[in-house]
Homo-oligomer: A and B are copies of this chain.
Amino acid sequence: MKTYKMVLCYDGSRYNGWQKQGNTDNTLQEKLEKILTEIAGVETEIAGSGRTDAGTHAKGQVASFRMDWKRTAAELLTEINGRLPEDVGALSLEEAEPRFHARLNAKAKRYVYTIWTGEMPPVFWRKYSFWCKDELDVEAMKEAASAFVGTHDFKSFCANKRMKKSTVRTIYDINIEQKEQRLVLSFTGNGFLYQMVRILTGTLIEVGEGKRSPMEMEEILAAENREAAGFTAPSRGLMLDEVFYEPYGKGTEMP
Stretch of A35-43, A81-89, A196-204, A226-234 lying at the B interface: A81-89
> Is the C-beta of A91 less than 8 angstroms from some C-beta in chain B?
yes
> Is the C-beta of A9 less than 8 angstroms from some C-beta in chain B?
yes
Instruction: Give chain B nearest CB distance to A14 CB in angstroms.
Output: 12
Picked from B90, B123, B126, B128, the residue with its CB within 8 Å of the CB of A124 is B128
> Is the C-beta of A244 less than 8 angstroms from some C-beta in chain B?
no
Instruction: Give chain B nearest CB distance to A245 CB in angstroms.
Output: 20
Q: Contact at A86–B126, with CB atoms within 8 Å?
A: yes
Instruction: Give chain B nearest CB distance to A84 CB in angstroms.
Output: 8
Q: Contact at A126–B87, with CB atoms within 8 Å?
A: yes
> Is the C-beta of A150 less than 8 angstroms from some C-beta in chain B?
no
Q: Tell me, in angstroms, the Cα distance from A81 to B86 when the chains sit together.
A: 31
Q: Contact at B9–A89, with CB atoms within 8 Å?
A: no
> Is the C-beta of A247 less than 8 angstroms from some C-beta in chain B?
no
Instruction: Give chain B nearest CB distance to A36 CB in angstroms.
Output: 18
Chain B residues with Cβ below 8 Å from A84 are 121
Q: Tell me, in angstroms, the Cα distance from A10 to B120 when the chains sit together.
A: 12
Instruction: Give chain B nearest CB distance to A94 CB in angstroms.
Output: 14
Instruction: Give chain B nearest CB distance to A56 CB in angstroms.
Output: 13
Chain B residues with Cβ below 8 Å from A90 are 120
Instruction: Give chain B nearest CB distance to A212 CB in angstroms.
Output: 29
Query: In the complex, which residue of chain B has the Cβ closest to the Cβ of A88?
Result: B123
Chain B residues with Cβ below 8 Å from A9 are 120, 123-124
Q: Mark A77-101, 1 if CB is under 8 A from B, else 0.
A: 0000100101111110000000000
> Is the C-beta of A241 less than 8 angstroms from some C-beta in chain B?
no
Instruction: Give chain B nearest CB distance to A234 CB in angstroms.
Output: 13
Picked from B11, B87, B89, B123, the residue with its CB within 8 Å of the CB of A89 is B123
Q: Tell me, in angstroms, the Cα distance from A131 to B46 when the chains sit together.
A: 28
Chain B residues with Cβ below 8 Å from A57 are 124
A–B complex contacts, Cβ < 8 Å, 18 sampled: A9-B120, A9-B124, A10-B123, A11-B123, A57-B124, A81-B120, A81-B121, A86-B121, A86-B123, A86-B126, A87-B123, A88-B123, A89-B121, A89-B122, A89-B123, A90-B120, A91-B120, A124-B128
Interface residues of A (CB under 8 A from B): 9-11, 57, 81, 84, 86-91, 120-124, 126, 128
